[in-house]
Amino acid sequence: MKKYRTYEIHRLILLIFVFVGFVFNMAFPTLLNAEQIGVHGRGKKVILIVMDKIAFRDLKEANTPNIDFMMEGGGAALMNTRTAGSKNTQNSYASIGAGKHMITSASAGEAFNSSSVIEQIPVKEQYFARTGKAAPLGGVVSMEIPGIREINRRAGTDVGPGLLGDTLHDSGLKTAVLGNSDLPDEFNRYAAILAMDSFGRIDHGNVSRELLNRVLESPLIYQTDYSGIFDQLKRVYTKSDLIVVDMGDTYRANALEKNAFPEIIALERKAAVEKADAFIGKLLDFIGEDSALIMIISPLPSDTAVSEGNQMSPLVVYHSTGEGKGGFLTSGTTRREGIVSNTDIAPTILNYFGISIPTEMTGRVMGVIPSDNSMDNVLKLNDDLVFIYGARPVLVKGYVFLQLFIMVLTIISILLWPRFLRILRPMLLWLMAVPLSLLIIPVFGYSSLPLYVLTSVLLASIVVFISYKVFRRIHGGLFMILGLGTAAAVMLDVLTGSNLIKYSTLGYDAIAGARYYGIGNEYMGVLLGSSIIGVSSLWGIRRGSGAELKLFTLLFFVSSVFLMGAPQLGSNVGGTIAAIAAYLFIYFRLLNIEFGPKQLMMMGAGVAVGLGIITFIDMSRGVDVQSHLGRAAGMVYSQGPRAMWDIIYRKVSMNIKLIRYTIWSRVFLVLLGSLAVSFYRPVGLMKRVRKENPYIFRGLLGILVGSGVALVVNDSGIVAAATMMIYGAAPLIYLIARVRERDSKA
């Protein structure tokens, strides 16, 4: 028995040691090999074609030869539509025009020609009265700009409204906007937000209803006059650098949602897309060999698409000179093939003109990854993201419910019904195996949701069954294999680009847009918790003896910190701080070093040195490939303490919001409560468990430290703390249940 145990442990150490060596010998992966769009310089134009409220499937179902041509020779992507507030029309346009997540007022679409007279009031006079600025002759103004700026000032994002327009104007470039999305009783000139400066001014354009046809036999009533817009475009073309053209009809077709039958809406949307495509064909012919960057954007998908869980909108980018090959768009924001953010449009425009990007813009320059970007491939990516988006609440809430149910039932059984513990103990191990199951399951692809859920449950059960068969005779062996196995799987996935985490229901959500790459907060907690309990159990099996065990632990922990903090892998700053603190604490305790002021100072120094190294590495790279840590450090350097305060305020606000509303708060409290109860009841039981399992108990303390630090320093700390606590509470309750069950039989 002893010989078998030693052989198995040495083999496991060797395998993981090889893996750690592999980590340190691997070169950092770089950002996806993307070609920048166009080249720097003047004498160029950018034309934004706005086809609002459509999804990629609308382009697929319509006859769009010109858009297809642009996709074949340009770049296409799903665009995340996140804003600083609700995902509504005005906020989406504001975020695109600022290059950062913004909010704005519901009346932000009230823009008018400078020469217009509304209700016998000259626009230019009223604009001057509100702003003290002269309206541009022959241009367009946003009458709501004072309110827009005030809303953002209160939200702490006062630098942003009109940032793209300001930057273009500061460089001597001119802007124009054409068309509108008006309804009979509404002014919807949101396209003006894309081109305006911080005083709501656009140099040239026409957003009046002169560019509409009144068609009473159409459910839209107003239809875009495409010939009229094209004539206006030819007029402003030579004197404008950025031209925004609102197609309008796609927005109006979406607005029929409650006023027409679904089949009528579908026909009107298809007709609007095809008319816009014909306009784009004329535009391409008109531009000819001129150097122009053409973007087709939909600030938001249709209401129908949103109701189906599809909140990503289409983006197509094409360079008129035909430079480069067609492919998928990507950016430093997402580091994902075929996925970009709405905040990436403004930086890409500025980069195309050769203009420095303001530090206030959080978006990154887009590039094209040469590949087959056929419509079918884009739709497949979209369908996968929508499936994960729909499956996430089912699996996560189900897992959370089972955690609460199993943990509470186990505690009650320990106190009252010890005969049931034999059934419940394997369920505690199953809770530890679920994160590994949810990490692996994307390998099997996506079919139906019931099959996906069933496969997840079976995978976790198989992991527990195999672990039980192989390691049940080794005291602590089950925790060792589940912990180290899960940690190794997460580390390997992060090392190879987080390809499983990206598509795991326990990973981050590209549709929500809080994170697109790296390890994420859920699996950050999983990695910390599983690695600590795995290593602690290994020390318990080895009784803490051997230099190789100490070296292995040190290398394993350093590797984990490296993978969590490396900017090239998607630095998780809060996770890195929590990891350094927790790993130093547990390493001291495993070495039987009492934790005092000296060790606390060493922990603080370790965190400072680790963050300093990561920040230095990140800031030494180009801005477009920096992680959020490097960008944040750059903002603090250029803008001073105010920028640091804004970052801290935003992260603390997010953490408080999540603590109040996320379901993970309940998990954390129940797991913490279960531990608290088990410390006192049954009397003396915890003391015996601690005496029999000193190293595992130290692991629990390390997990508590990591959870506490993560809760404080991470903007989603409650999520990481909860997933981490799974690997602290479940093993300890398992050991208590085993002792209680044994006592009941005595």
Instruction: Report the distance separating Cα 335 and Cα 319, nearest Å.
Output: 22
What's the average pLDDT block by block, 10 residues per block, for the chain (746 residues)? 43 47 42 60 84 96 95 94 93 96 92 92 94 96 94 80 96 97 95 97 97 93 97 96 98 91 93 98 92 96 93 94 79 92 97 92 92 82 93 93 92 86 91 96 86 94 91 83 95 92 92 88 95 94 81 90 83 87 91 81 80 72 61 64 66 73 85 83 80 91 92 83 93 88 69
Among 272, 312, 261, 259, residue whose Cα is nearest residue 61: 272
Question: Strands (DSSP E) along 203-359, which ranges?
Answer: 204-206, 212-215, 221-224, 242-246, 292-297, 313-319, 327-331, 339-341
Instruction: Report the distance separating Cα 667 and Cα 320, nearest Å.
Output: 54
Query: In angstroms, what CA-CA distances link 38 with 67, 234, 240, 366, 372?
Result: 19, 23, 18, 10, 19
Query: In angstroms, what CA-CA distances link 641 with 342, 635, 654?
Result: 28, 9, 20
Backbone angles phi, psi at 139, to 5 degrees: -110, -160
Backbone angles phi, psi at 45, to 5 degrees: -140, 150
- Looking from the CA of 560 toward its CB, the CA atoms found within 13 Å total 33
What is the four-CA torsion angle of 373, 376, 381, 385, rounded to 10 degrees?
Answer: 150
Instruction: Report the distance separating Cα 293 and Cα 391, nearest Å.
Output: 38
| pLDDT given at position 297 | 98
**CA-based angle 390:395:396, to the nearest 5?**
100
Residue spans per domain, the chain: 35-373, 385-745
How many angstroms separate the first and last alpha carbons of the chain? 26
Q: DSSP states of 94-137 as a string? A: HHHHHTS-----TTTT-EEETT-EETTEEHHHHHHHHHSSPPPT
pTM of the model: 0.89
Instruction: Report the distance separating Cα 695 and Cα 699, nearest Å.
Output: 6
ω before 219 within 30° of 0 (cis)?
no
Amino acid letter, residue 643: A
Angle between helix 520-542 and helix 2-25 axes, rounded to 10 deg: 140
Give every CB contact of residue 566 below 8 A, 6+ residues apart in sequence: 28, 614, 617
Paired residues of 577 in beta bridges: none
Paired residues of 728 in beta bridges: none
| pLDDT given at position 174 | 98
Give every CB contact of residue 540 below 8 A, 6+ residues apart in sequence: 475, 476, 693, 694, 695, 696
| pLDDT given at position 295 | 98
351: left (phi over 0), alpha (psi -120 to 50) or beta: alpha
Among 20, 664, 44, 101, residue whose Cα is nearest residue 352: 44
Among 188, 186, 167, residue whose Cα is nearest residue 177: 188
Give every CB contact of residue 360 below 8 A, 6+ residues apart in sequence: 98, 99, 100, 159, 160, 163, 635
Give SS3 for 295.
Answer: strand
For residues 418 and 682, the answer to whether their CB atoms sit within 8 Å is no
Beta strand 201-202 with 175-178 is: unpaired
Query: In angstroms, what CA-CA distances link 164 with 48, 273, 291?
Result: 13, 27, 20
CA 580 to mean position of chain CA atoms: 24
For residues 209 and 274, the answer to whether their CB atoms sit within 8 Å is no
Give SS3 for 419.
Answer: helix
For residues 460 and 434, the answer to whether their CB atoms sit within 8 Å is yes
| pLDDT given at position 250 | 97
For residues 197 and 233, the answer to whether their CB atoms sit within 8 Å is no
Give SS3 for 316.
Answer: strand
Query: In angstroms, what CA-CA distances link 192 with 52, 179, 393, 430?
Result: 13, 9, 37, 55
Give every CB contact of residue 86 below 8 A, 6+ residues apart in sequence: none
Tokens of 154: 């209160």
Is domain 35-373 classified as CATH 3.40.50.2000? Answer: no
Instruction: Report the distance separating Cα 660 and Cα 489, nearest Å.
Output: 32
Query: In angstroms, what CA-CA distances link 741 with 113, 476, 540, 688, 700?
Result: 80, 17, 22, 14, 22
Q: Which residue has the tokens 């003047």?
A: 42
Amino acid letter, residue 694: P
Angle between helix 597-619 and helix 628-639 axes, rounded to 10 deg: 90
- Looking from the CA of 720 toward its CB, the CA atoms found within 13 Å total 32
Q: What is the CA radius of gyration of the chain?
A: 29
Instruction: Report the distance separating Cα 224 and Cα 192, nearest Å.
Output: 16
Paired residues of 294 in beta bridges: 47, 318
Among 629, 657, 631, 638, residue whose Cα is nearest residue 567: 629
